[in-house]
Amino acid sequence: MYNMRNISTWLSVLLELSAIWPCVISMNLLSFTTQEMKLTNHVRVKRGWSWEPLYVTEEQEVKKPMYVGQLKTDSDGQDGLIKYILFGDGAGTIFVMNDYSGKISVLKKLDREEKPFYTLRAQAINRYTGVPVEAESEFVIKVLDINDNEPQFINRPYIAEVLEMSPKGTYVTQVIATDKDDPTHGNNARLVYNILQGQPQFSIEIKSGIIRVASQIDRETKDQYHVIVQAKDMIGDAGALSATTTVVINILDVNDNAPKFQQKTYEMSIIESATIGEIVGTILADDFDIGKNAEINYLIEERGDYNMFDIHTDSLTQEGIITLKKLVDFESRSRRYNIQVRAENKYKPEFFDTATIRIYVVDVDEPPVFLEREYFMEIPESVPVGSYVGSVTAKDPDTTDTVIRYDILHNKHSRSFEIYPNNGSIFTMKSLDREVDLWHNITVTATEAKSPTYTSYVHVYIQVLDVNDNAPQLEHIPDIYVCEKSRLEQPVHTITAIDKDEPKLSHPFSFTQPPEESTNANFTFADNEDNTATILTAQDGYSSQDNPLFYLTVIISDNGTPSLTSTSTLTIKVCDCGIDNNKESCGKGGFFFKFMNSGAVIAISVFILLILVLALLVHVRCRKKHNIMSEKGEDLKENIVKYDDEGGGEEDTEAFDITGLRHPTVMRERKPRRIRRTDIQSMYRLSLGLGPDVAIFKEFLTEKLEEANTDSSVLPMDYLHCYAFEGTCSPSGSLSSLSFTETNVSEIDPYY
């Protein structure tokens, strides 16, 4: 009020001055403003804002600015000097303010869930001077909630499990729903739960959403429930919004059922030829539980013929598989067996059921049965061919006894034996040698004479027993050296003997020398009594120059009956072992070089010289033969003709068809012709289309054969001659080896 009186006073003063000096109005206004600021700075004035609570209800349709509330300062004299300005969140776009009255209006529909309140600022200034009349103030416009959002379930989908037969009130699961409405404004967000489907087995707590068991549940009746739960806001009052969700509840099994056989009596059959372990049949007991709770153990109770059969459980199908424990025989005993089977729960043996099984034995025509599963026989290796080895026996297990025939399946061992087909006696067919084959494994068959299809087999193992039929031998004959400086009875080398016979027949061996060597021996033996002997020196010192080699004969005898002996000759070389008397260098060529120094080099050189001279003589003779052959000019020519014929030698001239090679001027007296084959032609002559008539050449060959048979100076009878006709009048002369004169035939080496 004080401020308003000051303003009125100053205004009246300004009006009076304006009548006297209008020109100074503006200066007075400035002076007034300055004085007013001074008063403001020096005088404390109580002033402030006043407004009513500001609210906007959400979701209201706004077609024109809608009044929200009013802000004003107590300095406002309603004279229009105060100007109100709005700042902040949504100012100008969502909210507007009348700058004269301070009234606030909203321009559009609001959503509380999008933004629950708006923070704004207001300022009051002098409309003409722009000077703030009030300090800037902050205020809030709250958006009021309405129930426009339905509940929403979270953490979906809901899947729960609960054991069957659980007591009433057992916790199952909890459902939770939320509501976007304001929980502080009325009941818009206050929810309640109820079950629309799933009663009477389940119930739900109305506020918490916890689902519990309401009555007894049996999994064997129903193993899954779909419970529909509803959530409502406004505590379920009128106008409330709701939502639903489905909770899948799986019922877990408990072991509460005993196995149950499908029938109390079972009938099965098995053939009498069935082997142990063969399946007789299967049975099945039902258990309404699942998983491990339904696992069953089957066993045969100790009643009736319980020891004839066995039973075990198939873990996959839970069936009881009955197998044969002992062989059954239709001819020997009862043809029906009774057993009682028990099926019990694996984890609760008190849950069980029993059934009776009758098993009938079926008769079949069986093959012969050998009295033994396999046969072992022995025979010495020295027995003659046809010796008895042993017998096998088989019988017909059927009631009708039939004749049985025996035979041996062929293999490499069966060729040494034969079997008598009527009684199964086995004999030798060949001589046996234990050192070649110690064991002979043969397979014998037994077949019914009337039914050859029924055949049984048995293995027969024949061991060849050893006899002392092998003399001992040295394991290997090594290079033995003795040092020149060796002393009397000094060890030289140790030899080892082996025997192919068994040790118990031949060991131990004895080592001796022939009597004629033992009296004048350079070396002796020391028997080590372990099948080895040590060679000892029998003198002091040896000389590689005088006697570089010694030959030592050793006689090795075994301990068999009769005793067998073998004789071996050992070569002992004298070696200069050096100062340290070490024989290691002897085997590396030392002896060889010493031997070479003793004259072998000269001998080898002479031998090589002789070889060279012989080669030179052969070369000269070959050239001489060539000159002799060429003296006949072109009368005879040489050619190589290949015949794929293996006839009877020189006289089998009928197998050849070779063109004549003689010149007409050197033909000899004709002789009576022999019958000759003309169907075999020389492929070489035919290819050339040259040469005289074949008859001429055949006569020539006949004459040559007769000369060769009577003349010992010519080539041997089995010498291979190759002839071909090369034509006449060749300027180069003949290259044939046949071009020689009769005067120098004797000079040809018949073995060349």
Mean pLDDT of the region 42-46? 42
Assigned token pair, 746: 């004797």
Q: How many CB atoms lie within 10 A of CB 248?
A: 14
The arithmetic mean of pLDDT across residues 44-57, rounded, is 69
| Other Cβ atoms closer than 10 A to 638 | 18
- Find out whether 576 and 590 touch, Cβ atoms under 8 Å: yes
| 78 Cβ neighbours under 8 A, 6+ residues apart | none
**What confidence tens digit (pLDDT) does each residue in 293-316 have?**
999 999 999 888 889 999 999 989
Whether 662 shows a pLDDT value over 60: the answer reads no
DSSP assignments along 653-684, one per residue: GGG--------GGG-----PPPP---SS--HH
Spatial strand order of the sheet with 210-213 comes to: 171-174, 210-213, 202-204
In the block, residue with structure tokens 């029998």: 538
DSSP H stretches of helix in 25-177: 25-42
- Our CA angle for 14, 17, 18, nearest 5°, is 85
**Number of Cβ within a 10 Å radius of residue 93:** 9
* Tens digit of each residue's pLDDT (9 = 90 or more) over 182-201: 888 788 889 999 999 999 99
**Confidence band of 564 (pLDDT split at 50, 70, 90):** confident
Three-class SS of residue 600? Answer: helix
The answer to whether residue 117 scores a pLDDT higher than 50 is yes
Supply φ then ψ for residue 619, to 5 degrees: -65, -45
pLDDT for the residue 570: 81
For residue 14, how many C-alpha atoms fall within 13 Å in the half-sphere facing its CB?
Answer: 15
Q: How far apart are CA 218 and CA 223, in angstroms?
A: 8
pLDDT tens-digit series, residues 15-41: 444 433 333 333 333 333 333 333 334
Task: Give me the mean pLDDT over the 620-644 stretch.
Answer: 56
Torsion sign over Cα 131, 133, 135, 140: negative
Position 499 scores a pLDDT of 74
Q: What is the dihedral angle through the alpha carbons of 122, 127, 132, 136, rounded to the nearest 10 degrees? A: 0
Rounded to whole angstroms, how far apart are CA atoms 669 and 508?
83
In the predicted structure, residue 4 carries a pLDDT above the cut 50: no
For residue 405, give Cα distances in angstroms to 399, 449, 696. Answer: 18, 6, 75
**What is the token pair recorded at 719?**
């010498």
Query: What does each C-alpha distance from 360 to 263, 271, 324, 363, 395 come to in angstroms?
Result: 18, 8, 12, 10, 24
DSSP-derived secondary structure letter, 435 = T
31-45, 130-144, 154-168, 529-543: lowest mean pLDDT where? 31-45
Query: What is the DSSP code string of 192-254?
Result: EEEEEESTTTEEE-TTT-EEEE-S---TTT-SEEEEEEEEESGGG-TT--EEEEEEEEEEEP-
- Which tens digits make up the pLDDT trace of 379-412? 888 888 889 999 999 988 776 667 889 998 887 7
146 vs 704: which has the higher pLDDT? 146
Task: Give pLDDT, residue 637.
Answer: 45
Could you read off the pLDDT of 218-256 as tens digits, one per residue? 998 999 999 999 999 988 788 889 999 999 999 999 998
Q: Which residue has the higher pLDDT, 57 or 655?
A: 57
pLDDT at 132 over 80: yes
pTM of the predicted model as reported, rounded to 2 decimal places: 0.42
The chain-wide mean pLDDT, for the chain, equals 77
Split at pLDDT 50, 70, 90, the class of 742 is very low
* Residue 230 CA, distance from chain mean position: 59
